[in-house]
Structures are given as C-alpha cells and as structure tokens.
C-alpha cells in the first residue's frame, strides 16, 4: 500500500474519492450493459445481411458469366464503362452512450437505378440483368459494411469500458478501502493513547491533592 499520512483530512479526501469511484464504476457498468444489449441486438441483422450478400453475389456472378459467355467480354466492358467510377458515398456518425458510430450511405439509391450509361436497345437483356444484379450486390454491401463497422466499434468500446470497470473495482476501490482502514486504525490508536494519557494525568493530580 502506498504510504498515506493518517490525518482526518486525508480520511475525508479518501471518502470523497471512494464515492466518486463507486459512482464511476456504476455508470461504467450501466454503459457496458447498454452497449452489450446493442451488440447482441445487431447479431441477427448481421447474420441475415451476410446471407443476403452471399445469395446476391452468387446470382450476380452467374448473370455476369452468362453475359460474358453470350455477348463477349468487349461488349460487357463497353456497357459498363459509362457508369464506372460514379458511385458517391456519404459518411455519417451517430452516438450510442457517447460512442461515435460510423455509418456509410450511397449518395443515390443503388437498386432500380436506370442511369447506367446505356439504353436498353443498345445492350442485351443479359447485360441489363447482370447490371441490375450488381447494383443489388452493391446495395447489400452498403447494408452490411455499416453494420459491421458499428459492431466493431461497439465491441472495442465494451472492452475498453470493461477494463475501466475492472480497474476501479479491483485496484482503485480496494486501494482506497485499505488506506481508509489504515487511517482509521491510526486515528483510533491515537485516540486511545490520548485517553490513556489523560487518565494518567488526572490520576497524578488527584494523588497530589
């Protein structure tokens, strides 16, 4: 235990510190519990989003393979060039118990988009279906990425909060309790010694009288 001066002032200081430490530990536990509920609530949507992503990816790859086989790589590449590099992204943030959670959104709706840079008369139905499938795939990715980023951030904050709770409960509070016991013991010993000395002084005076 760190050396502490056994005074009443230091005892009062330790009492105030103990009150703050316990309040802090209680708030951090509530924060951790709230974050844990948020984390658990996200598990099902993320699993579902992964399933949807896998299904959409398989469909998109199959349709692209069909278009490449029937229309040829050059035709498919030519149809894709006009819309290449035009995807805009908006980054937003929200707070959950003071934790900044990132969120990404496309500038425009990715599904059912008709501005692909070509007309339906200039490409085959196979190419158009493949384009639609990859737009759906991008939409699924934009659903999943923010969820995973959110889950990762919340998971990090849960670990950080748990470490702080453990530090308060296993180190700070026990240390303060030990120091308070030490100060009280010393003050009680001093009080007994003072009473004993007063009794002796009183007894000596009575003998002289």
For residue 3, is it within any domain? no
Residue among 64, 83, 84 at smallest CA distance from 124: 64
For residue 1, is it within any domain? no
Tokens matching residue 32: 């951790």
pTM of the model: 0.70
Report the number of distinct structural domains present in the chain.
1
pLDDT of residue 86: 60
- Distance between CA atoms of 47 and 63, rounded to whole angstroms? 25
Beta bridge partners, 95, equal 100
For residue 111, is it within any domain? yes
Asked if the model's pLDDT at residue 114 lies above 60, the reply is no
Residue with tokens 């990859």: 134
Beta bridge partners, 99, equal 96
Contact yes or no for 21/198 (Cβ under 8 A): no
For residue 145, is it within any domain? yes
Three-state DSSP class for 73?
Answer: helix
For residue 53, is it within any domain? yes
CA distances from 48 to 59, 63, 103 (A): 17, 23, 18
Residue among 68, 60, 142 at smallest CA distance from 109: 142
For residue 108, is it within any domain? yes
DSSP string, 130-195: HHHHHHHHHHHHHHHHHHHHHHHHHHHHHHHHHHHHHHIIIIIHHHHHHHHHHHHHHHHHHHHHHH
DSSP string, 76-114: HHHHHGGGTT---EEEEEEEETTEEEEEEEESS--TT--
Query: For residue range 148-183, what is the model confidence (pLDDT) as tens digits?
Result: 888 888 999 999 999 999 999 999 999 999 999 999
Mean pLDDT of 48-66: 94
Three-state DSSP class for 1?
Answer: coil
Asked if the model's pLDDT at residue 21 lies above 90, the reply is yes
The CATH number linked to 137 is: 1.10.287.3240
For residue 2, is it within any domain? no
Dihedral of alpha carbons 130, 133, 135, 137, sign: negative
Beta bridge partners, 201, equal none
- Distance between CA atoms of 28 and 20, rounded to whole angstroms? 12
Query: Which of 44-48, 105-109, 171-175, 176-180 has the weakest average pLDDT?
Result: 105-109
Asked if the model's pLDDT at residue 37 lies above 80, the reply is yes
Percent of the chain scoring above 70 in pLDDT: 85
| Domain membership of residue 34 as a residue range | 8-208
For residue 143, is it within any domain? yes
């Amino acid at each position: 235990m760190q050396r502490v001066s056994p005074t009443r002032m230091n005892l009062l200081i330790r009492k105030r510190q103990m009150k703050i430490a316990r309040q802090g530990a209680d708030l951090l536990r509530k924060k951790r519990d709230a974050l844990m509920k948020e984390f658990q609530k996200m598990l099902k949507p993320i699993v579902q989003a992964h399933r949807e992503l896998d299904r959409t990816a398989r469909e998109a790859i199959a349709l692209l393979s069909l278009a490449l086989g029937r229309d040829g790589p050059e035709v498919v590449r030519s149809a894709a060039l006009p819309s290449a590099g035009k995807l805009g992204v908006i980054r937003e943030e929200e707070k959950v118990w003071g934790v900044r959670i990132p969120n990404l959104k496309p500038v425009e709706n990715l599904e059912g988009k008709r501005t692909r840079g070509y007309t339906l008369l200039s490409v085959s139905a196979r190419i158009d279906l493949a384009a639609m499938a990859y737009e759906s795939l991008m939409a699924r990715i934009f659903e999943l990425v923010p969820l995973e980023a959110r889950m990762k951030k919340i998971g990090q904050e849960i670990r950080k909060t748990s470490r702080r709770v453990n530090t308060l409960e296993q180190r700070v509070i026990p240390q303060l309790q030990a120091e308070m016991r030490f100060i009280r013991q010393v003050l009680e010993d001093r009080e007994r010694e003072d009473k004993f000395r007063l009794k002796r002084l009183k007894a000596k005076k009575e003998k002289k009288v």
